[in-house]
Amino acid sequence: MTTNEVRQKFLEFFREKGHAVIPSAPLVPDDKTVLFVTAGMQPLVPYLMGERKHPQGARLANSQKCLRTDDILEVGDNRHLTFFEMLGNWSLGDPSEPDASPTGSSARPGHSDGFRRGIGRAGYFKKESIAWSFELLTSKKWFGIDPEKLYVTVFEGDATMGIARDDESIGYWKEAFKTAGIDASLENGRISAYPKKKNWWELAGSGPCGPDTEIFYDMGKEHDPVFGEQCHANCDCGRFVEIWNNVFMEYEKKADGPPVGGGGYSYVPLAQKNVDTGMGLERITMVLQGVETVFEIDVFKKIIGSIETKKVPYEKEARRYRIIADHLRAAVFLISDGVAPSNVERGYILRSLLRRAIAQARILNLPLRDFPVKPIERTREYYKENYRLSALPAIIDIVKKEFDAFLTAFEKGRKEVLRIVGKIPEGGVIPARDAFNLHQTYGFRIELMIDLAKDSGHTVDEKGFWEEYKKHQEISRAGSEKKFGGHGLMLQTGELKAADEEELKKVTRLHTATHLLQAALRRVLGDHVHQMGSDITAERLRFDFSHPQKMTDEEKKKVEEVVNKEIQKGHAMTHKEMPIDEAEKTGALMFQKEKYGKTVKVYSAGDFSKELCGGPHVANTKEVGTFKILKEEASSAGVRRIRATVVD
């Protein structure tokens, strides 16, 4: 079975069980407190919490795109990925709820139209969830896994929580294994009970929670006694691999419990019982294809096969090839969901992935001119029938621009790393100051420095690096405050200080010009342009923005023309106060959202420019004068800087 076939089988199975197959949510969530969707249940939280009913009913299934970067340095081993798909099925509500009316038809998992609507029947709970999990995994009609290879874990109970062992799940697992002629029990190890740390799901604070039951596959490896005398399902020796987790949300965690033992929380039965399951598509495909790592499944074979060279075979440099394949696959999905490389938030993650990929490609001496094209092509070709992806030329254009912008800096930075480690004994540590200088000068992320140091048997002073980073931010902030003390712009408060009234007018004109400049840059260069920093004095403005390459003379001329045209239109500079979330919905541009309060001012110049800002601004754009670009240059990798002024 291919990866695509495994996904389709899963969805087909649960469609037969009365589930509505819903599309994957984008990787970029509506929740502004997180960067990406990291779990299959994340987009369904409001429904799992009982805050509202899902329009498709109580039974749902899908394959959700996810991205996690917590373990980015582990990518390249046998199991860690940044981008992955999470197969999931859910029951929202008590099994006694009435059935919904079935209508509609099926569709591909990545599409929002045409998928089956309203077929979710009454909810279900442990009995059905466990029975169906076993059926899907072991039935020859579906995945056909040998049931002898399966082991399960349950919650052992916790006296301090006032919750007993999950004997209900144990009973249903015994019934399931019995259908395959297997005697499953706690005594023979087919079923194992673990504490809260292993088999309980809950949020950090109050909310729905409950026990979970995990399904493990026996890979058939010999037990390594280093990990303990006896092997068991949750052993770290590598013999067992978790393939599916069923969470049973049957309790509510309340912040009214005893301070000791219960940790300040009590646990009471939940009115709405939910089932939330998750099975990693790549991992279950690994099991079904009989390979030992996720990087050996069909989709990764295609991607890696497109870049492997005879001079450097995969067997010799597996980790580097895996990093490239993983990171470029992730990049295809991130770009398709609207993320562009930058130095902040989601763009920072994408840029980090692309830079790690180019670093590995360069070390492998891959032909860089055409290098990113083939793996991106293979990735898009494989997934295009299941997900809406950006056009191939658009993806390649973004990736190649990022590669071209970073390649020269990487080569210089790599030489500097070799120079530094050449002075340090093997096993030594690259000092924090040297690491920070590499970051400042060549745009090296900390994870890239760790990679390069590891190649020569060295490590990096990570803690010291972040201390240097923080110190630099504080110095920059202090310098900025000092610079603005006499005649600077306080963007959040709207307070503007100047030596005299005339200077105040000049700075205000330049401030309005900065807004018009950003809008013009986005119109001429594209929506990937975002403010990365700014500085205004009475003589000039300085504006840093995300853009992968030097502007042409024609582009600079066009930007000047657009700004001056809008100035002459005589737009009234208006502003409204509103909640920051409402401001974001209007499409207003903002720089570092976390710096603003709950209520913000949105300044507009007609329909041309709209930004969050404290002001002040000119009353009418004609007061700005004539806008003139003085210089355009590089600020750092992927960031350009414009210096400009206005004249009467």
- Bridge partners (DSSP) of residue 380 are none
Q: What is the pLDDT of residues 324-354, one digit of tens each?
A: 999 999 999 999 998 988 877 888 899 989 9
Q: Are 171 and 165 spatial neighbours (Cβ–Cβ below 8 Å)?
A: no
Domain co-membership, 260 together with 322: no
Residue 101 has pLDDT above 60, yes or no: no
Residue 468 lies inside a defined structural domain of this protein: no
Q: According to the model, what pLDDT value does residue 475 have?
A: 53
Domain co-membership, 238 together with 305: no
Residue 454 lies inside a defined structural domain of this protein: no
Mark which of 237, 256, 288 sits at the end of a domain. Answer: 288
Q: Which runs of consecutive H residues, i.e. helices, occur in 67-213?
A: 126-138, 167-178, 196-199
Residue 512 lies inside a defined structural domain of this protein: yes
Q: According to the model, what pLDDT value does residue 283 have?
A: 96
Q: According to the model, what pLDDT value does residue 583 have?
A: 83
Give the pLDDT mean for 381-407: 90
Domain co-membership, 268 together with 306: no
Q: According to the model, what pLDDT value does residue 427 have?
A: 86
Domain co-membership, 283 together with 301: no
Q: What is the pLDDT of residues 357-391, one digit of tens each?
A: 988 998 898 877 668 899 999 999 999 999 999 99
Residue 33 has pLDDT above 80, yes or no: no
Cα separation values, 74 from 36, 85, 548, 599, Å:
19, 18, 28, 41
Residue with tokens 């340090």: 424
Domain co-membership, 312 together with 284: no
Domain co-membership, 226 together with 348: no
Domain co-membership, 337 together with 254: no
Of 127-136, 243-252, 314-323, 398-407, give the lowest mean pLDDT range.
398-407
Residue 475 lies inside a defined structural domain of this protein: no
Whether residue 515 is annotated as binding a ligand: the answer is yes
Give the pLDDT mean for 50-73: 88
Q: According to the model, what pLDDT value does residue 258 have?
A: 66
Between 186 and 114, name the one with better pLDDT.
Answer: 186
Residue 109 has pLDDT above 50, yes or no: no
The order of strands in the sheet holding 531-536 is 531-536, 541-546, 639-647, 626-636
Residue 566 has pLDDT above 70, yes or no: yes
Compute the distance between CA of residue 134 and CA of residue 62 in angstroms, rounded to an integer: 18
Residue 581 has pLDDT above 90, yes or no: no
Q: According to the model, what pLDDT value does residue 114 have?
A: 31
Mark which of 232, 265, 288 sits at the end of a domain. Answer: 288
Domain co-membership, 252 together with 334: no
Residue 589 lies inside a defined structural domain of this protein: yes
Burial class (CB in 10 A: 0-12, 13-18, 19+), 14: buried
Cα separation values, 484 from 240, 425, 488, 504, Å:
61, 46, 3, 12
Domain co-membership, 183 together with 79: yes
Q: According to the model, what pLDDT value does residue 592 have?
A: 56
Q: Among residues of the chain, what percentage have pLDDT more than 70?
A: 88
Mark which of 402, 421, 440 sits at the end of a domain. Answer: 421
Between 203 and 623, name the one with better pLDDT.
Answer: 623
Q: Among residues of the chain, what percentage have pLDDT more than 90?
A: 47
Q: What is the pLDDT of residues 2-24, one digit of tens each?
A: 999 999 999 999 999 999 999 99
Q: What is the pLDDT of residues 187-227, one digit of tens each?
A: 999 999 999 999 999 876 777 899 999 999 999 888 878 78
Average pLDDT in the chain:
85
Whether residue 511 is annotated as binding a ligand: the answer is yes
Q: According to the model, what pLDDT value does residue 417 have?
A: 85
Domain that holds residue 263: 3-288
Give the pLDDT mean for 302-331: 94
SS3 state at 6: helix
Q: According to the model, what pLDDT value does residue 120 have?
A: 40
Compute the distance between CA of residue 241 and CA of residue 145 in angstroms, rounded to an integer: 14
Give the DSSP per-residue string, 580-627: HHHHHHTT-B-S-GGGS-SEEEEEEETTTEEEE------SBGGGS-EE
Q: According to the model, what pLDDT value does residue 473 have?
A: 59
Give the pLDDT mean for 33-46: 85
Q: Which are the contacts of 500, defined by CB distance < 8 A and separation ≥ 6?
A: none
Domain co-membership, 304 together with 266: no
Q: What is the pLDDT of residues 485-516, one digit of tens each?
A: 333 333 333 344 444 567 778 889 999 999 99
Residue 478 lies inside a defined structural domain of this protein: no
Q: What domain count does the chain have?
A: 3
Q: pTM for this structure?
A: 0.68
pLDDT band for position 102 (50/70/90)?
Answer: very low
CATH of residue 537: 3.30.980.10
Cα separation values, 408 from 69, 353, 403, 441, 513, Å:
26, 17, 9, 12, 34
Residue 57 has pLDDT above 60, yes or no: yes
Q: What is the pLDDT of residues 409-455, one digit of tens each?
A: 788 888 888 889 888 888 899 988 888 888 877 778 787 888 888 88
Residue closest to 403 by CA, chosen among 362, 347, 440, 375: 362
Domain co-membership, 611 together with 636: yes
